[in-house]
Amino acid sequence: MTNVISDATHVELVKVVVFGTLFSLPLIIAMALIFQRYGLVAALAFCVITDFAAAFAMREISMKAGMETIVIALFVILGVKVASMVSGWVS
How many domains does the chain fold into? 1
| Residue of 44, 40, 2 whose CA lies nearest to 23 | 2
Stated pTM of the model: 0.66
Q: Which domain holds residue 57?
A: 2-90
Say if CB 69 and CB 61 are below 8 A apart.
no
Mean pLDDT of 81-88: 88
Say if CB 80 and CB 40 are below 8 A apart.
yes
pLDDT at residue number 34 = 96
pLDDT tens-digit readout, 31-66: 999 999 999 889 988 988 888 787 777 776 677 777
Residues 6+ apart with CB under 8 A from 61: 52, 55
45 vs 8, residue with greater confidence: 45
**Res 25 pLDDT > 90:** yes
**Res 26 pLDDT > 90:** yes
